[in-house]
Amino acid sequence: MSSIYPSPEEFVRRANVSGMAAYEELYRRAAQDPEAFWGALAEKEVHWFEKFHTVLEWKAPFAKWFVGGKTNASYNCIDRHLETPRKNKVAILWEGEPGDQRAITYQELHRLVCRFANVLKSRGYKAGDRAIVYMPMVPELPIALLACARLGVTHSVVFGGFSAEALKARIQDLGATLVITADGGYRRGKEVRLKDAVDEALRECPDVSNVIVYQRTGSEVVMQADRDHWWHHLDEGASEDCPAEPLDSEHPLYVLYTSGTTGKPKGILHTTGGYVLYTTMTMKWVFDLKEEDTYWCSADIGWVTGHSYIVYGPLAAGATSVIYEGAPDYPAFDRWWRIVEKYRVNIFYTSPTAIRALIRQGDHWPAKHDLSSLRLLGSVGEPINPAAWEWYHRVIGGGRCPIVDTWWQTETGGILIAPLPGAIPQKPGSGTMPLPGVVPDIIDLAGNPVGRDKEGYLIIRKPWPSMIRTIWGDPERYKEQYWSKVPGVYFTGDAARCDSDGYYWVLGRVDDVMNVSGHRLSTMEVESALVRHPAVAEAAVVGKPHEITGQAVCCFVTLKKGDFSHETLGKELRQWVAHEIGAFARPEEIRFSDSLPKTRSGKIMRRLLREIVTSNSVSGDVTTLEDLSVITKLAAQQDDE
Ligand code: PRX
């Protein structure tokens, strides 16, 4: 029996959706007539230059929402607030790692975005073009996104932790002609250099004709004449008048690359009208956003959480959104709590991996600070273990803040399963119930619902406004990945169970995707990186349970003939993967082996490797294994590090 935490009465009384009956009524209305439900909300919550004529055109698995409508995400995030008392409200409350601060009002944001949009325009960029954004967490990052969105330039943010290799692959796949970057940013007191990686990537990206460089650290960078321009030079004297382009509701707003089951990341496409509506609604429903709230999502804008819940959702909903540039432990482990206290943050949204890392440092860090402004907490990225949930609730939330455990994916664009905090009592570890308009189920591979209290595949039955539209340039892969396992339903790739109260418990991925610190990484991606190394013959990668990061990357490697020191090569390969993909993908462990466990048809049996890294033994069926002695050898082996 898991414990139940109802939200405090005072919270429920003031909540945007107050009480279970209100949630059920909302859910019932959405289920009964989804198009009427979303249509009415779209009219009320989104600004349209031209109204849509059809709410949903569903030619499975391709959806078009608010067909015929003309809108603009940048307009919805900025301009429409300027006619209201929000015009001088702080939109972005920013703190750099060194301690510098900026408070940018909606009016100021409008000026900055218009200026930068004019810069892009003057260099010939227009709707349909594609830009890669590779920046630190400075206000100019959301400004760049909103300027692109204003013109209809489709953006793709590449997380600053990705390497030049990863950056190059994304620039090429997207066919980008513009890169927006910075000299660097700050992390743990050191400069993370970005422009150098751009230079390396661009050696093989001839289509990029402009690189705009924001000066953050002032360190030396190489500027290539004609191609590279300083942001502040171009911005000087740019006009502050740049009307937002009326764009089709289905205009591609952004592409965000995420790991799939192959070595090649997929470009998840999100479009405009439905995305703006859904992120706005979830800010109100899940985060119970009030006009006076100071809201802080600690994610990086390089991931989908930052797109939907630092930039588009909060700004479209007119919130004050806090952005912090650096690491949570710099200069000490109370940096986050310092920020909460200083800005009187009311809503705080972070990941289980961060929570676990902070638990380990001890309660005296948060205890130094007055966290009484907090009224709501959120979690995202992976299942949160009940012990971490309870610590978060007690130590950070002072026992008075509901916790919204939000289940969603890059592909879903917004939160699909989470407790509406004024309505649904929470059970630690469960995302609880689906949001209005979201119809999940748990099924077996034949497509049959497994019923209550049984594990199965989590699927979504009906389209929702912020859903993935396709994989950039690869509609066949989109169909195959998400809609073909069980025809006609969206396959999430997660295993889950629904308990007898109707609460969903997401258990983790069922495919070869690892979740390291809430970041998705495919085993294949790491394997392909490893086999590009000249010494490696073959590699198999699995996720290994890890106390802080949820999973850690564990690699089994066979070597080509030669005289290698395992110790030196182990270090080199970890560095190699970090260089090929990014530092966050650096393997925790490299194990060398003469061979890998394979089926007679030559397929690597990762299931067995997972068991070895978890328990150093193998149970279950090994009859398909070609050479049983491999297992004994691998299990006997200790980490070669
Ligand atoms: O396995 C689920 C896990 O993260 C995956 C999605 O990863 P990504 O696209 O990188 O997006 C992360 C941020 C939205 C899911 O398939 N996941 C995410 N949130 C939760 C979760 N698992 C359990 N509980 C969650 N709250």
**Per-residue pLDDT tens for 560-577?**
888 889 999 999 999 999
Provide the pLDDT for residue 405: 98
pTM: 0.93
Q: Strand (E) positions, 336-394?
A: 347-350, 376-380
Nearest to 58 by CA among 493, 469, 558: 469
Q: How far is the CA of 401 from the centre of ligand 1 (A)?
A: 22
Judged against a pLDDT cut of 50, whether residue 32 lies above it is answered with yes
Domains and CATH numbers, the chain: 516-640 (3.30.300.30)
How far is the centre of ligand 1, averaged over its atoms, from the C-alpha of 407 (Å)?
A: 6
How remote is the CA of residue 41 from the centroid of ligand 1, in Å? 26
Tell me, in angstroms, the distance from the centre of ligand 1 to residue 365's CA.
28
At 640, is the pLDDT very low, low, confident or very high (cuts 50, 70, 90)?
very low
**Mutation probe of ligand 1 site: the residue of 268, 409, 415 with most atoms within 8 A of C-beta:** 409
Which residue from 297, 305, 380 has its CB within 8 A of the most atoms of ligand 1, so it is best to mutate? 380
For a mutational test of ligand 1's pocket, the pick from 466, 513, 515, 516, i.e. the residue with the most ligand atoms closer than 8 A to its C-beta, is 515
Q: How far apart are CA 74 and CA 79, in angstroms?
A: 8
Q: Which of 516, 520, 522, 584 to mutate to test the pocket of ligand 1 (most atoms within 8 A of CB)?
A: 520
So what's the pLDDT on residue 368?
Answer: 98
Residue 630 pLDDT more than 60? yes
| 7 Cα to the center of ligand 1, angstroms | 24
Q: How far is the CA of 253 from the centre of ligand 1 (A)?
A: 22
What lines the ligand 1 site, CB under 6 Å? 258, 304-305, 380-383, 405-410, 431, 492-494, 506, 508-509, 515, 520
Q: Counting atoms of ligand 1 from 1, which one is nearest the CA of 405?
A: 26
Helix 195-202 to helix 164-174 angle (10° resolution) is 60
Q: How far is the CA of 380 from the centre of ligand 1 (A)?
A: 7
> What number does the ligand 1 atom closest to the CA of 513 have?
1
Buried b / exposed e over 282-304, threshold 16 CB at 10 Å, is bbbbbbbbbeebbbbbbbbbbbb
Instruction: Report, as an integer, the average pLDDT of 116-143.
Output: 98
Distance 254 CA to ligand 1 centre (A): 19
**Encoded tokens for 26:** 């909302």
| pLDDT at residue 603 in the model | 78
Which residue's alpha carbon is nearest to atom 5 within ligand 1? 409
Residue 636: which pLDDT band, with cuts at 50, 70 and 90?
low
**CB contact at 8 A, 142 and 310:** yes
- Between CA 560 and CA 566, with CA 561 as vertex, the angle to 5 degrees is 75
Atom of ligand 1 nearest to the CA of 492: 16
* Sign of the four-CA dihedral 168, 173, 174, 177: positive
Is 55 in a helix, a strand, or coil? Answer: strand
- Sort 595 into a burial class: Cβ within 10 Å, 0-12 / 13-18 / 19+: middle
> For the chain, what is the mean pLDDT?
94
Decide if pLDDT at 427 tops 90.
yes
Say how far apart CA 227 and CA 212 lie, in whole Å: 8
Residue ID of nearest Cα to ligand 1 atom 24: 383
Residue 169: per-residue pLDDT = 95
For residue range 400-421, list pLDDT tens digits in order. Answer: 999 999 999 999 999 999 999 9
pLDDT tens sequence across 69-95: 999 999 999 999 999 999 999 999 999
pLDDT digits 0-9 by tens, 93-105: 999 999 999 999 9
**Cβ distance 442 to 489 under 8 Å?**
no
Task: Report which ligand 1 atom has the smallest distance to the Cα of 506.
Answer: 23
Q: Which of 407, 426, 498, 522 most suits a substitution to test ligand 1, by most atoms within 8 Å of the C-beta?
A: 407
Residue 639 has pLDDT above 50, yes or no: no
* 222-242 mean pLDDT: 97
Alpha-carbon Rg for the chain in angstroms: 24
Identify which of 257, 382, 466, 519 to mutate to test ligand 1's pocket (most ligand atoms within 8 A of the CB). 382
pLDDT-based confidence at 342, cuts 50/70/90?
very high
> Which atom of ligand 1 is closest in space to residue 508's alpha carbon?
1
Task: Report CA(625)–ligand 1 centroid distance (Å).
Answer: 32
| Separation between Cα atoms, residue 543 and residue 558, nearest integer Å | 18
pLDDT computed for residue 277 by the predictor: 99
**How many angstroms is it from 359 CA to the middle of ligand 1?**
21
C-alpha of residue 508 to centroid of ligand 1, in Å: 8
Query: Do residues 322 and 271 touch, judged by C-beta distance below 8 A?
Result: no
- How many angstroms separate the Cα of 173 from the Cα of each of 67, 205, 468, 474, 528? 28, 10, 17, 10, 18
Judged against a pLDDT cut of 80, whether residue 279 lies above it is answered with yes
Instruction: Identify the band that residue 623 occupies on the pLDDT scale cut at 50, 70 and 90.
Output: low
Higher pLDDT, 638 or 323: 323
Query: Count of residues for the chain?
Result: 641
Q: Could you tell me which of 429, 431, 401 has the C-alpha nearest to residue 419? A: 431
Distance 492 CA to ligand 1 centre (A): 10
Closest atom of ligand 1 to 417 CA is 26
Cβ–Cβ under 8 Å, residues 160 and 97: no
3-state secondary structure at position 258 = strand
Q: CA neighbours within 13 Å on the CB side: how many for 161? A: 15
Residue range 246-274, pLDDT digits in tens: 999 999 999 999 987 777 889 999 999 99
Among protein residues, the one whose CA lies closest to atom 14 of ligand 1 = 409
